[in-house]
Structure 1
Amino acid sequence: MAERYHYFFAVKLPNEVKAFIGNWIERNKREFPFKRWVHEADYHITLAFLGFAEDEMKAKAVESMATAISDIPPFSLTLTKIGTFGPAKSPRIFWTGVNESQVLNDLQKQVYQHCIEAGFQLDKKPFRPHITLARKWEGEQPFEKGTATPIVTEDGKEVSFQINEVVLYETHLDKAPKYKEYAVFPLINKK
């Protein structure tokens, strides 16, 4: 039987931003005892989680994705607050957010709608753009939200970066990093 993988479309972060976040985590993770930290190469912003994908549906989504997002140009994002999902005192997910971006929201809507049209059943939760940093709190004390500060440079400056690609990732749970690029879709500046 062939292996079955999960797939998801995501915004690809530049390598220098992944490295910056990874360095921040190395300096700060003792303050945040989570069980599993995300591998630096796996940082991304999910646009649409497909789950297991039949070859025919996956091929349909890949074949026309570049056209589906053709009106979205490259754009900038800035890291913002740290947050969590799950119970406040024992969160499941530890993440960093990005600034509100109409272009990112438009991109997510385009990708999401395209996947629906390709036949995928997608989660209907509202889009909350974030970069997952860690999973499963295991601290002896309850998590204190006030200890989580934004990820900024050592001199307090915000971290901004350019988004140039959407990627369809394939998940390999037994590897690190666990996300493999299956297909890449550049954002084209039409000026």
Structure 2
Amino acid sequence: MSKQMNAHFFFAVKLPDETKEKLKEYMECVSLKLPFTRWVHHEDYHITLAFLGSAPEEKLQKASGLIADSIRNEKTFPLYISRLGVFGKQETPRIFWCGTQQDKHLQDLRLKVYSACQEAGFKLETRPFKPHITMARKWAGTGPFQQSLLDVNSPFKDGHLEFEASEVVLYQTHLDKSPKYESIAIFPLLAE
């Protein structure tokens, strides 16, 4: 694993390219109505399972080994992107996101990845897990953000956008690049 100084790392569920493309098309329309400062590059769409921050090589190796072990028998499963939301102050949110329906498989997978990272010695966020795909950052509207702005036409045919969760990926962040997340290690789930 190649590593830059002060790089940050995280484990995430990778989105299939087709799903990223559909979300990208939708976000191109939404971005005209929602003034956020920075829109995430579609190649960077993912669902974070455990954010590690900066990490020494040996700890990354240990976490990767423990994760490979703990999810060895996990099967692929469908996820449904079905809602839009924001994090931060209601008037000036810092994150705009697409969220998935609650899913036991995703919760279980996250718990295994999170526990493996803790066992490897990482101090992780303790906030409740809210699976989401970050679309944009930092509200830049002239007025306060209104929840009704999210009631734009849904990108989700039949109320949701379905995809198969088939890989957990260890990503490294490159703040000076776009897209900025590099896949360092891939942990495939078992195909049904």
Length-normalised TM-score, structure 1: 0.94
Q: CA deviation at 1:157?
A: 4.8
Q: 2:190 is matched with which residue?
A: 188
Distance change in 2, residues 1:156/1:27 (3 Å): farther
Shift of 1:156: 5.2
For residue 115 of structure 2, give the secondary structure of its aligned residue in structure 1. helix
Partner residue in 2 for 1:119: 121
Shift of 1:146: 1.3
Partner of 2:155: 152
Match of 1:45 in 2: 47
Query: What is the root-mean-square deviation in Å for CA atoms of aligned residues?
Result: 1.4
Give distance in 2, aligned partners of 1:187 and 1:77. 14
Once the two structures are superposed, residues 122-148 of structure 1 have per-residue CA deviations (whole angstroms, 9 ceiling, x without a partner) of 111110000000000010021111120
Match of 2:5 in 1: 3
- 1:31 counterpart SS class: coil
Deviations 1:63-122 (A, max 9, x none): 232211123210001111110000101100000100110000000000000000001111
> 1:165 aligns to what?
167
Q: Contact between 2:67 and 2:112, CA under 8 Å: does it hold in 1?
A: no
CA separation of 1:156 and 1:102: change in aligned 2, threshold 3 A:
closer
Mean CA deviation greater in 6-15 or 141-150 = 141-150
1:77–1:98 CA contact under 8 A, matched in 2: yes
Provide the TM-score with structure 2 as the length reference: 0.93
Report the 3-state secondary structure (helix = DSSP H, G, I; strand = E; otherwise coil) of the residue aligned with 1:47: strand
1:137 to 133, 139, 146: 139
| Aligned AA (2:129) | F
Cα distance in structure 2, aligned partners of 1:72 and 1:14: 18
The answer to whether the 8 Å contact 1:96/1:151 transfers is no
Identity %: 46
User: Could you say what secondary structure the match of 1:121 adopts?
Assistant: coil
Displacement of 1:151 in angstroms is 3.9
| Structure 1 runs (4+) greater than 6 angstroms displaced | none
Q: Which runs of 5+ in 1 are unaligned?
A: none
Unaligned runs of 5+ in 2: none
Counterpart Cα distance in 1 of 2:105 and 2:121? 25
Which one of the candidate residues 75, 78, 103 is aligned to 2:77?
A: 75
- Alpha-carbon offset, residue 28 of structure 1: 1.6
For 2:174 and 2:6, locate their aligned partners in 1 and report how far apart those are by CA, in whole Å: 9
Spell out the pairing of 1:23-34 with structure 2 (5 A cutoff): 23-34=25-36
